[in-house]
Chains A and B, each alone.
Chain A
Amino acid sequence: MKRRTWILASAAALGGVVTGGLSVGLLLRHDHFESEARRRTQEPGEILLGGWVKLSPEGAVTVYVPHSEMGQGAATALAMMVADEMDADWARVRAEQAPADPAFANGFFVQAFLLNGKEVPEFAQSAVSLGFGEVARLGNLQITGGSGSVRLTGQHGFRSVGAAVRAMLVQAAAEEWAVPAKELRARDGVVSHEASGRQSEYGRLAAAAAKLPVPENPRLKTKAEFRLVGKSIPRFDIPDKVVGRTRYGIDAQLPGMLVATVKASPIHGGTLSSVDAAPALAIPGVRKVVKMKNSVAVVADGYWPAHQGLQALQPSFMSGFGAATDSMGIRQSMESKLSAGGRTVHSRGDVGAVKDGPEISATYHVPFLHHATMEPINVTARWADGRLEVWGSEQDALGARANLQKISGLPLSQVTFTPMSLGGGFGRRSAPKKDHLEQAVEIAKAVSPRPVKLIWSREEDFAQGTYRPAVATRIAARLDKDGLPASWTQAFTDTPGLINEGYPLVYDIPNQHLVAVDFLSHVRVGAWRSVAHSQHGFFTETFVDELASHAGKDPFEYRRAMLETRPRHRAVLEAAAMHGSWGKPLPTGWGRGIALVESFGSIVAEVIEASLDTDGMPRVHRVVAAVDCGLLVNPNTGRQQVEGAVIMGLSAALAEAITIKDGAVVQRGFPDYPVLKMRDIPQIEVHFVESEARPGGLGEVGLPPAAPALANALRAATGKAVTSLPLRDHYSAPARQG
C-alpha cells in the first residue's frame, strides 16, 4: 500500500446500491497532483491530510471545499461533516474554496476510477447507468449543481475524509505513546489516553499522521454519535455578507484595471456585421471599441463611460434563421412535434391494453425562464506575458479554467482562475456557459497588458441568458373502477444535452409509457434551478388534480391512494396535509392545493392557500412544505434553502416568462420580468420529516412543488384549471399573448 493516497467512496456507495455503511475504497493518485495540492495550500508547518483537510501546528483546521458558495451554505455543511467525523474542535474549523486546480478536482476521483482501467465491481453493475451517470455528471470537475454538495461530496467523500483523518491522528498518537489505538479517545481536537493521562492536540500530531497510510475503511459515525451534524450551526459566510466585505466576481479590483461592457446579437446565433466605433470613442474615458464575432465591446476607465459608449453605438447584426421566430411559433412547433413520436424513456405494463374507462387528456406549456441572478454576468481578465489570469464568480471554478484554456489556446499551466463568491447561480454560472469568458479573453488581448473587468448590463444579462427551456407535454390517462389511473401516456419536449430527471412518476401506476421528443430552437437554453423538475412537477401534479377531479376524489386522498407502496412519499404527503390544515375551513374565495415531487434524492410536498385579489390577480397566503431529505446536516440552512426555493418557484409560477419576438428576447429587466418582492411573500413553514435515508439535496428541491400546488389551490378557489404558466396570463384581463 502506498502511503499517500486519496480517498474514494466505492462505486456501490456512489451509485446508491449499498444502503448500509459506506465502504471506502482507495485510489492511488499521481504524485504530481499530490505535491501540487500541498504546494497550493500548505504554509510552513501546515499539513494537508486526507487530501482535503489542513492542520496548522496551533490546531487550526481548514477544510478545502470543491464547490462554489452561491448562497446555499454548502461550505459550512461540508466542513461540519468533516469536522464531526474528525472530532475536531469546531471553534477552530474554517472552510475555504479549493483552488481551481486539477489537484482539487471533485470528479477527478470518479474520472480516474472509471478511466484508469478499474473494473466496476460486479455487485454495482446494475448501478452503473444510474449511479455512475449521476456522479460522472455532477462530480465532473468542481461543479456546484444538482443539489449535490452535501449529498454527493459530503456523504460520499467528506465524511470518509474526516473519519480517515481522525484515524490517522489517533494512530500517530498511539505510535508515539506506544499504546494500542483502541485505548485512545479523540474529542474536540485532542487525542487522549485515560490510563496514562497523556494527551495531545491534533495540530501537534499532524506531521506524524501524514506519514501514515490513509485507512481503507475508516468507521463512520452513526447518527447518534454526531456532535455537529444535525445542528443549526451558523454559516461561515454570513458575518462578511452583512458588512459588505464578501468579494464577488464583480468586486475584483486590480491596479490599472479597465472596465468593459458588451452588446451581443440580440438574436442568438447572429453575428456582428458592422459597427462605427467613432461615437463611442468620442466619449471621455472610452479607450477602445472591440469588435468580436457576435458582439461589440466598449472598454473605458470605468463602467459609466463604457456604458455610455456602448449606448452611443449602433451595431448591426446578421441574424440568421432565428429572426422569423416568436414564442407562439415555438409553441406551435413543439405541439406538432409531440404528435410525431420520440424516444421512449420509461415504459411499464402495457398502456395499449387499457381500453376501459374514460380517457382524460391535457396539453401543458411552460415558458422560457431567466435566472436573473442579482449579480449580473461579469468576469475580470489579464492577458500578459503569455499568461491569462482570470477572476470570476462561476459555479465550476475548474470547469471555467478548462474553458479558458481552450478559448485562449494557452497551456493549462499558463491559465489561472481565481474563484470569487457568486451573487446567485441557479444554473446560470455553470461551466458550459462561456460566452462571457470568450468575450473577456478577447477584450483582455485587445488591451493587453492591462487587466479588464467585463460587466454585462442588466439588459444584456436578460437578452443573453441561458433560459429554462420552454416545454410542452401531452398527457393522457384512463381511470380504473376506483377512479385511479390505470394507464398514463405522456409525450414531452426535451432538450438534447440537458439532463432530464424530471419525468419518473412517484405514483404506483401499473401501465405507463413516457416519450421524450427532442426539441431545440435558436434560443439558448440551460439548467435553471431544479432543471427539468421545474416543468415536470407542474405537468404531473396539475394533471393528477385533473384526474382527481374526474374521479370526484379529494386531491390529497387521491395521491395517498397511489402511494401505498411508497411509505416515505406517503409520510411526506401526510405531513404536508397535516401541517397545512388540509380539509379545514378557509375564508370564502380561498382554495387549498397540494403537490408532491421527488427530486435530487429528497421528497417534498407542499400545501398552498391562495385566492384571487381584488384586482383579479392570484394572491398566495400560506405555503407549508414537508421535506424528507434523509440525513439533515444543518436544519437552519436547510430551512433557508427550502424557503428560498419556494419563493423562486412561486415567482416563476405567478409572473415570470421570457418571450421571443422577431427572434429576440423581449424582456430586458425587472420591470418587464417581475419577480416576487417583500409584499408578495406568503407565510412559509418548512417541516422536516425524519427518515433514516442518506442525505438528499436541499438547494433546489423546494421549488418544483410550488407551481402545481399553487395552480391546484387556484383551481380549488376558482374552479378553473390552467394548463400553462405563468398564472398571471390566465387571471389578468385582458389575457396576455405570449
Chain B
Amino acid sequence: MTIPITLNGQAVAVDADPATPLLWIIRENAGLTGTKFGCGIASCGACTVHVNGAPVRSCVHPVGAAANARITTIEGLARSAGLPEGELHPLQQAWIAGQVPQCGYCQSGMLMAASALLATTPEPTDAQIDEAMTNICRCGTYPRVRSAIKSVAKTTKREAT
C-alpha cells in the first residue's frame, strides 16, 4: 500500500504496511537516523517528531495515520522554521551555547518537543516546561535543557518588544 506523506518538506510515497510505526519509516525507509528508537511504547520520547507541527512519539504512531501529513524530523527542524539551509534553529543554537547534550541520544527528541512547545507557548513557565518535556534523559541534561529553552524564550521576547 502506498501512503503519501511530506517528510521535511519533500513529498514521499511510502510503500509499507500502514500499521508500521512512523519511526521505522523515517529511520529505515527514509534513512534519517537522527530520530531515535528508545522504548517502542511512547514512554521515553527519543522518537519525537512533528506531525503537522505537533509533537508525536513516532514509535507508536502508525504511518497510515500520518497519510498526507507534514512530518518534520530533527534533520528538517531548522528549515521547518523557515531558516535557510545550513542555519540552526534558535533552540539548536541555545543547545550548543549551553553545552546541553552529553551522550546526545535523547536530544533530537528533546529538541523536537521543545520546539513544538515554543511554537505554541513562546514564553513557557516552569510548569509548562515540566508538562511538555516528559522526555527521558539518562545522562541528566534536564537542568540545561530547561535553561536553554528559557534562553530562547527570552530572546524571542526581546525581539518582539
Query: Chain A: residues with CB nearer than 8 A to chain B?
Result: 70-73, 232, 234-235, 237-248, 250-251, 253, 259, 284-285, 302-304, 307, 371-376, 421-426, 455, 457-458, 636-637, 640-641, 643-648, 669-671, 675-679, 681, 684
Chain A residues lying within 8 Å of B99, measured Cβ to Cβ, are 232, 234-235, 238, 636-637, 640
Q: How many residues of B contact A (CB 8 A)?
A: 55
Question: Measured between alpha carbons, how far is A238 from B44 in the docked complex, in Å?
Answer: 21
Q: Do A670 and B24 have beta carbons less than 8 Å apart?
A: no
Chain A residues lying within 8 Å of B32, measured Cβ to Cβ, are 244
Chain A residues lying within 8 Å of B141, measured Cβ to Cβ, are 640, 644
Q: Tell me which residues from 105 to 161 in chain B have a Cβ below 8 Å from any Cβ of chain A.
A: 105-108, 111, 129-131, 133-146
Q: Do A244 and B75 have beta carbons less than 8 Å apart?
A: yes
The 4 closest A-B pairs by CB, nearest first: A244-B34, A423-B105, A647-B140, A71-B103
Q: Do A671 and B43 have beta carbons less than 8 Å apart?
A: yes
Most chain A C-beta atoms within 10 Å of own C-beta, residue among B39, B75, B130, B136: B39
Chain B residues lying within 8 Å of A303, measured Cβ to Cβ, are 24, 28, 37
The smallest C-beta distance from B32 to any residue of chain A, in angstroms, reads: 8
Question: Measured between alpha carbons, how far is A678 from B131 in the docked complex, in Å?
Answer: 9
| 21 A-B pairs (CB sep. < 8 Å) | A238-B95, A242-B107, A243-B74, A244-B108, A248-B36, A259-B28, A284-B17, A374-B38, A375-B38, A375-B105, A376-B38, A424-B139, A455-B37, A458-B40, A645-B140, A669-B39, A669-B43, A670-B136, A677-B133, A678-B130, A684-B143
Q: Do A648 and B104 have beta carbons less than 8 Å apart?
A: no
Known contacts A374-B105, A670-B43, A245 near B38 by CB under 8 Å: no
Q: Do B105 and A244 have beta carbons less than 8 Å apart?
A: no
Cβ of B2 within 8 Å of any chain A Cβ, yes or no, is no
Cβ of B83 within 8 Å of any chain A Cβ, yes or no, is no
Q: CB-nearest residue of chain A relative to B33? A: A251
Chain A residues lying within 8 Å of B52, measured Cβ to Cβ, are none
**A242 contact from B96, B130, B143, Cβ within 8 A:** B96
Known contacts A304-B24, A457-B40, A678-B129, A422 near B103 by CB under 8 Å: yes
**B138 contact from A232, A646, A648, Cβ within 8 A:** A648
Q: Do A376 and B103 have beta carbons less than 8 Å apart?
A: no
Q: Do B33 and A244 have beta carbons less than 8 Å apart?
A: yes
Chain B residues lying within 8 Å of A238, measured Cβ to Cβ, are 95-96, 99-101, 104
The smallest C-beta distance from B135 to any residue of chain A, in angstroms, reads: 8
Known contacts A234-B96, A243-B88, A677-B142, A253 near B33 by CB under 8 Å: yes
Known contacts A304-B24, A374-B105, A681 near B17 by CB under 8 Å: no
Question: Measured between alpha carbons, how far is A526 from B40 in the docked complex, in Å?
Answer: 26
Known contacts A303-B37, A304-B24, A307-B40, A373 near B138 by CB under 8 Å: yes
Q: Tell me which residues from 34 to 74 in chain B have a Cβ below 8 Å from any Cβ of chain A.
A: 34-41, 43-44, 46, 73-74
Q: Do A71 and B28 have beta carbons less than 8 Å apart?
A: no
Question: Measured between alpha carbons, how far is A458 from B75 in the docked complex, in Å?
Answer: 25
Chain A residues lying within 8 Å of B74, measured Cβ to Cβ, are 243-244
Q: Do A239 and B96 have beta carbons less than 8 Å apart?
A: yes
Most chain B C-beta atoms within 10 Å of own C-beta, residue among A238, A373, A641: A238
Most chain B C-beta atoms within 10 Å of own C-beta, residue among A243, A302, A670, A671: A243
Q: CB-nearest residue of chain B relative to A234? A: B99
Q: Do A424 and B143 have beta carbons less than 8 Å apart?
A: no
Chain A residues lying within 8 Å of B84, measured Cβ to Cβ, are none
Q: Do B40 and A242 have beta carbons less than 8 Å apart?
A: no
Q: Do B102 and A647 have beta carbons less than 8 Å apart?
A: no
Chain A residues lying within 8 Å of B140, measured Cβ to Cβ, are 643-648, 676
Q: Do B144 and A640 have beta carbons less than 8 Å apart?
A: yes
The smallest C-beta distance from B123 to any residue of chain A, in angstroms, reads: 17
Q: Do B102 and A644 have beta carbons less than 8 Å apart?
A: yes
Known contacts A374-B106, A374-B138, A669 near B95 by CB under 8 Å: no
Q: Do A242 and B142 have beta carbons less than 8 Å apart?
A: no
Cβ of B80 within 8 Å of any chain A Cβ, yes or no, is no
Chain A residues lying within 8 Å of B143, measured Cβ to Cβ, are 643, 681, 684
Most chain B C-beta atoms within 10 Å of own C-beta, residue among A302, A371, A425, A678: A678
Cβ of B31 within 8 Å of any chain A Cβ, yes or no, is yes
Chain B residues lying within 8 Å of A239, measured Cβ to Cβ, are 96
Most chain B C-beta atoms within 10 Å of own C-beta, residue among A232, A285, A372, A640: A640
Q: CB-nearest residue of chain B relative to A642? A: B140
Q: Do A669 and B41 have beta carbons less than 8 Å apart?
A: yes
Chain A residues lying within 8 Å of B95, measured Cβ to Cβ, are 238, 242
Q: CB-nearest residue of chain A relative to B112? A: A244
Q: Do B103 and A423 have beta carbons less than 8 Å apart?
A: yes
Q: Do B101 and A677 have beta carbons less than 8 Å apart?
A: no
Q: Do B40 and A374 have beta carbons less than 8 Å apart?
A: no
Chain A residues lying within 8 Å of B138, measured Cβ to Cβ, are 371-374, 424, 426, 648, 675
Question: Measured between alpha carbons, how far is A248 from B37 in the docked complex, in Å?
Answer: 11
Q: CB-nearest residue of chain B relative to A307? A: B40
The smallest C-beta distance from A624 to any residue of chain B, in angstroms, reads: 13
Q: Do A421 and B104 have beta carbons less than 8 Å apart?
A: yes
The smallest C-beta distance from A373 to any residue of chain B, in angstroms, reads: 6
Q: Do A458 and B136 have beta carbons less than 8 Å apart?
A: no
The smallest C-beta distance from B12 to any residue of chain A, in angstroms, reads: 16
The smallest C-beta distance from B131 to any residue of chain A, in angstroms, reads: 8
**A374 contact from B29, B33, B103, Cβ within 8 A:** B103
Chain B residues lying within 8 Å of A71, measured Cβ to Cβ, are 101-104, 139
Question: Measured between alpha carbons, how far is A645 from B102 in the docked complex, in Å?
Answer: 12
Q: Do B44 and A670 have beta carbons less than 8 Å apart?
A: yes
The smallest C-beta distance from B35 to any residue of chain A, in angstroms, reads: 7
**A678 contact from B35, B44, B139, B142, Cβ within 8 A:** B142
Known contacts A303-B24, A304-B20, A678-B129, A241 near B136 by CB under 8 Å: no
Q: CB-nearest residue of chain B relative to A422? A: B103
Question: Measured between alpha carbons, how far is A239 from B105 in the docked complex, in Å?
Answer: 13
